[in-house]
Amino acid sequence: MNGQLHLIPTPLGDPDPNNALPAPVLALLTDIRLFFVEELRTARRFLSAAGWKGRVDELELLELNEHTPREQIEAYAARLGEQDAALISEAGLPAVADPGALLVELAHARGVRVVPHIGPSSLMMALMASGLNGQCFAFAGYLPVKAPARREAILALERTSARLQQSQLMIETPYRNDALLADLLEVCRPATRLCIAADITCPTELIRTQTISAWRQEVRRGFTIGKRPCVFILAYGTTQ
C-alpha cells in the first residue's frame, strides 16, 4: 500500500487557508484527489480557497460526520491505501472533538500510514492563552444537556481539578454556551478560575481568565457569550 491518510486541519475563523495553514500543507492539498469531509458545502469552499478554485468538481468528496454509520466508514476505509487521501473537518483538527477517529483507527488496522499535519486547534490555542496549567490537563468534551446532570458533571470536574491540579477543558454547542456558563457560576467555588475562549482567530475573539467570583460580577453587568464557538477551561482555586 502506497497511499497515505493525511489529517488536514482547517481554519477556525478566518476563511483564508493561507492565514491558517503552512505552505507545505497547502501544496500537499493540490496533489490529493480523495477527501473525507464533515460537510460537503464547507469542504468545497475550503478546497476552492486552498488551490482548487474552479476545479473542485475534479475531486471525490465523501461525507463523514457524526451521522455516518460504521458500515459506511468501513467501506471508506477499504479505499485507503489505493491513493493518498485526506480527512478534513469543519474547523480545527480532524478527529479531535470532531468526527473521523474511526477512519483513522481503521487506517492503522489496514497498515495505512497516517500523517498528521500542522494547523489550528481551538483547544490548544485556548489552553496556551489561558494562563492555566498546561502541564496537566484533560478534555471533557461536551457535558450533559440537562441542567441537573450538567451541574453534577461540573462539580466532578472541579473536584478532579482540585485533586490533580489539572485544567479541565470543555466545549458546548454554541446556543447552550450561556446555559453552561450559568451552571458553572452557580456551582463552582468563588476562587475557582474559568477561562472563556470564544471566536478564536476571529476579529471578535475573546480570551479571558478570571475567578468564578469575578465572572459572576461580569454576568450581573450583562456579559453573555452568545452563539459562537467557545472553549471553557476550569481550574480549581485554592484561595477565596
The single-letter DSSP state of residue 5 is E
Break the chain into its structural domains and give their ranges.
5-116, 122-235
pLDDT of residue 239: 43
Average pLDDT score over residue span 193-201: 97
In the structure, what pLDDT confidence band is assigned to residue 15 with cuts at 50, 70 and 90?
confident
* Distance separating alpha carbons of residues 86 and 88, to the nearest angstrom: 6
Q: Judge contact between 122 and 229, C-beta under 8 A.
A: yes
The single-letter DSSP state of residue 175 is G
Average pLDDT score over residue span 213-234: 97
Burial of residue 161 (number of CB atoms within 10 Å: 0-12, 13-18, 19+) = buried
In the structure, what pLDDT confidence band is assigned to residue 162 with cuts at 50, 70 and 90?
very high
The CATH label, of 3.90.550.10, 3.40.1010.10, 2.60.98.20, 3.40.50.920, for the domain at 5-116 is: 3.40.1010.10
Pinpoint the alpha helices (H) of 78-121: 101-109
Q: Judge contact between 153 and 160, C-beta under 8 A.
A: no
Cell of residue 142, nine digits: 461536551
pLDDT of residue 48: 94
In the structure, what pLDDT confidence band is assigned to residue 238 with cuts at 50, 70 and 90?
low
| Fold annotation for 122-235 | 3.30.950
Which residues share a beta bridge with 63?
A: 37
- pLDDT by residue (tens digit) across 57-114? 999 999 999 999 999 999 999 999 989 999 998 899 999 988 899 999 999 999 999 9
* Distance separating alpha carbons of residues 149 and 187, to the nearest angstrom: 12
Distances in whole angstroms, Cα of residue 135 to Cα of each of 9, 97, 130, 163: 24, 20, 13, 15
pLDDT of residue 98: 87
Distances in whole angstroms, Cα of residue 185 to Cα of each of 43, 107, 143, 153, 213: 37, 43, 15, 13, 8
